[in-house]
Amino acid sequence: MPYANVRMIVMDLDDTLLNDAVQISPANQAAIARARAAGLTIVLASGRPFPAMIGYADLLHLAQGGYVISYNGAYVTDWSNRETLFETCLSKLECDLLVDTAHAQGVLMQTYIEGAIVTEQMNPYSQLEATLTGMPIELVADLKSVIQTKVPKVLMLAEPDKIKTLQAELSKTLGGRFMISISKPVFLEFTNSAVDKSRGIDVICAKLGIDKADVMAIGDSYNDLTMLRDCGVGVAMGNAPDDIKAIANVVTTDCADDGVAAMIDRVLASQSTAHQS
């Protein structure tokens, strides 16, 4: 692996950088600090809403040259000045189509408005999202009536088998209009068709003059697929599904065993050796 050439490390949050307690372990924090000290650019890339990434970005001191990709790539933010480098949302017409589709499929749906998770009835999936993100849930009678402005992402919510079936069906009928991906097994996520994590990385690479071949991406799920495939070094977590591991160049240990720290230390060791030779 070309670890010696890595200039930027992009990592997913849930089930990648975060452990089962939804925290960044001391080992992962220390490894990221070492990477920053060595001059590597650190990027967080998640399907999470922007408000649910702020605490982690600040904990890692990303104001000192780091970046945040939120909503699966719908927002790209320079954390040093909170400048939005890229923003692409769903139109109201697109959201209305997805609400109608969810109703027709008999599944629940949620989106995000003004820092809240918005859904039509209380459900365990939105409650899971609230637990993970710390965001409040707002119940509304009709999603179509409350979505009056552009939103970055909407989710259909169901059990994993139903989500996989929906992805297969809707990719055929709606795949040309939306980027459709699974994050958690119970979340089918819809963003603008021009949005994914890999394209978010492109925005940062263009700003910094970094070749994508010199980027390491670390993730565990299907919404990480494009960045694992497109970056120079794609790293799957040990807890990733087998088909995600198959796309990656290398598999690290799982999120409970500091798999991110292990890869960062591998990069830093390789670069130290290269500098000595």
Handedness of CA 249, 194, 133, 118 (dihedral sign): negative
Tell me: do 79 and 143 sit in the same domain.
Answer: no
The pLDDT, as a whole number, for residue 277 is: 58
In this prediction, residues 159-173 reach a mean pLDDT of 96
> Distance between terminal CA atoms of the chain?
18
Tell me: do 76 and 96 sit in the same domain.
Answer: no
The pLDDT, as a whole number, for residue 59 is: 98
In this prediction, residues 156-176 reach a mean pLDDT of 96
Tell me: do 169 and 203 sit in the same domain.
Answer: no
Count: domains in the chain: 2
Tell which of 130, 159, 192 closes a domain. 192
CA gap 132, 52 in Å, rounded: 8
Tell me: do 208 and 82 sit in the same domain.
Answer: yes
Query: Does residue 1 carry a pLDDT above 90?
Result: no
Tell me: do 107 and 78 sit in the same domain.
Answer: no
Tell me: do 53 and 173 sit in the same domain.
Answer: no
- Contact of 208 with 189, CB cutoff 8 Å: no
Tell which of 192, 223, 238 closes a domain. 192
With a CB cutoff of 8 Å and minimum separation 6, the contacts of 106 are: none
The pLDDT, as a whole number, for residue 274 is: 73
Q: Give me the CATH number covering residue 186.
A: 3.30.1240.10
The pLDDT, as a whole number, for residue 2 is: 82
The pLDDT, as a whole number, for residue 153 is: 96
Q: From residue 103, how far is each of 152, 219, 224 by CA, in Å?
A: 20, 31, 28
Domain ranges, residue 13: 3-88+195-276
Half-sphere exposure of 51 (CA within 13 A, CB side): 14
- The proportion of the chain whose per-residue pLDDT surpasses 70, expressed as a percent, equals 99
Tell which of 173, 192, 211 closes a domain. 192
The pLDDT, as a whole number, for residue 155 is: 98
The pLDDT, as a whole number, for residue 187 is: 97
In this prediction, residues 24-31 reach a mean pLDDT of 99
Return the bridge partners of 231, or none.
Answer: none
Tell me: do 206 and 84 sit in the same domain.
Answer: yes
Give the strands of the sheet with 233-236, arranged side by side.
83-87, 75-78, 67-70, 41-45, 8-11, 215-219, 233-236, 250-251
Tell me: do 103 and 183 sit in the same domain.
Answer: yes
Tell me: do 202 and 264 sit in the same domain.
Answer: yes
Tell me: do 96 and 184 sit in the same domain.
Answer: yes
In this prediction, residues 27-41 reach a mean pLDDT of 98
Q: Give me the CATH number covering residue 78.
A: 3.40.50.1000
Tens digit of each residue's pLDDT (9 = 90 or more) over 177-208: 999 999 999 999 999 999 999 999 999 999 99
Q: Read off the pTM.
A: 0.94
Tell me: do 99 and 172 sit in the same domain.
Answer: yes
Q: What is the mean pLDDT of the chain?
A: 96
Tell me: do 43 and 10 sit in the same domain.
Answer: yes
Tens digit of each residue's pLDDT (9 = 90 or more) over 52-96: 999 999 999 999 999 999 999 999 999 999 999 999 999 999 999
pLDDT-derived band of residue 49, with 50, 70 and 90 as boundaries?
A: very high
CA gap 210, 272 in Å, rounded: 20
Residue type, 174: L
CA gap 122, 276 in Å, rounded: 58
Tens digit of each residue's pLDDT (9 = 90 or more) over 214-261: 999 999 999 999 999 999 999 999 999 999 999 999 999 999 999 999
